[in-house]
Amino acid sequence: MLVCARCAEASPKRYLYLQERRGQRILCGYTREQVEAAGLGESDEHHALKDKISALAARHGLVAVQESADDARTRRTDVLVRGGDVEVGWEVQLSPIAPDQARRRIGHAVRDKARAVVADDRRH
């Protein structure tokens, strides 16, 4: 497996492979599903924080679903916590994120009637 040196560390787009077509080698990227199935898409710290959110929710009698997605797959939430009529979508953010990307993620959650929380464990 090849790894792009210029891609963000947590980016699933950084895992690459060579494919030969008509005698030419072409650099290709794995799909997000392939990367995640191999357990490569997120850091151990990211997984640990998602597990911690899920465990805390369960301890308080709430339902937590990791990697929750809407039917169209336009929204994918690290941990969706449900309690009564309220849903809270937790996004664990350990790497830099552009403000417009954060707004887009929050917008998707709000559209699906979930309250959005971005958990940022970076030291400022």
Which domains, ranges and CATH numbers included, belong to the chain? 2-37 (no CATH), 44-120 (3.40.1350.10)
Q: What integer pLDDT is reported at residue 59 of this predicted model?
A: 95
**pLDDT over 70 at 102, yes or no:** yes
Burial class for 33, CB neighbours closer than 10 Å (0-12, 13-18, 19+): exposed
Task: Give the angle subtended at the CA of 46 by the CAs of 29 and 17, to the nearest 5°.
Answer: 15
Kindly report, residue by residue over 2-30, the tens digit of the pLDDT.
Answer: 777 777 666 667 777 888 888 888 888 87
Average per-residue pLDDT in the chain?
79
Q: Can you tell me the mean pLDDT for 40-58?
A: 84
**Residue 41 backbone phi and psi in degrees, to 5:** -75, -20
**Rounded-to-integer distance, Cα 61 and Cα 16, Å:** 41
- Average pLDDT in the 61-75 region? 80
Instruction: Specify the pTM.
Output: 0.63
For position 123, what pLDDT does the model report?
54
